[in-house]
Amino acid sequence: MLELSNDSPHLFSLYFPHLKQVLSTAKSDNICFCKDAEFWHRIVSILRIQSEESIVLFDENQRAEVEILAPTYEKRRTVVFRVIEVIPIKLLQPSLVLACGLLKGSGFESVVYNATQMGVTQIVPLITKKVQREWHHKREHDRLKRVMIAAAEQSKQYALPELMFPQDLKTFTQTINQQQYQGYCKVLFETGGNPFFSLLSKLHTDRCRALLLLVLKEG
């Protein structure tokens, strides 16, 4: 399969968690029917996709360029599309883990949003003595997953990071040399450290294939 061309006209991108299941029902002419009221509403009423217009659907493992067909506008709550091509999603290299102090307000949402757009592989929220808020467990994890999806749809960087549950800083620093992060180049961002371009030069010289970035809360 060829990669989607950067020279193609702008295509809307939508996260669609049922993509694999729907693609498995494709007919011999690559036509799929998806009865999903929320999905139909977003296609027809929010994005106002026109008949024969192409969009990109993606989940955690693959993305598909599809053409929305006329019956979508005749069968309420059912999206009908033709599959043009399906491409596996590949993680960017080098692998990049971001361990970041948990910020209050919308600060951590911004971290997650921008990290997703930059292709971070894994995000680890850290609890330190300076963290002044609680982690709201599954509710917050689900909210940040929606932030990642919005970032991926906007940037078209489709590989969603693995969002870990928070870890205590002391526990995390004791485990980073264990098997999970063996072979990673480990970088701590702090005031008064080495110049950033010196770091880039070193990473290039060492041909680093995996990075662990540790960013702690200021103050």
Neighbours of 178 (CB within 10 A): 8
> In the CATH hierarchy, which top-level class contains the domain 95-215?
alpha beta
**If we measure between CA atoms, which residue out of 124, 125, 111, 97 comes closest to residue 212?**
97
Mean pLDDT of the region 47-68: 96
User: Tell me: domain 13-88, CATH 2.40.240.20, correct?
Assistant: yes
- Domain limits, the chain: 13-88, 95-215
Question: In this predicted structure, which of 58-67, 156-165, 177-186 has the lowest mean pLDDT?
Answer: 177-186
Contact in structure between 102 and 166 (CB atoms under 8 Å): yes
Instruction: Tell me the pLDDT tens digit for each residue of 25-35.
Output: 998 899 999 99
Name the pTM for this structure. Answer: 0.84
* pLDDT of res. 219: 46
Residue 80 CA to residue 66 CA, distance in Å, equals: 10
How would residue 188 be classed by pLDDT, with cut points 50, 70 and 90? confident
In angstroms, the first-to-last Cα distance of the chain is 50
CA distances to 55, 74, 117, 208 from 8, rounded to whole Å, are 11, 28, 20, 33
- Give Cα 76 to chain centroid, integer Å: 30
Top pLDDT among 141 and 3 is at: 141
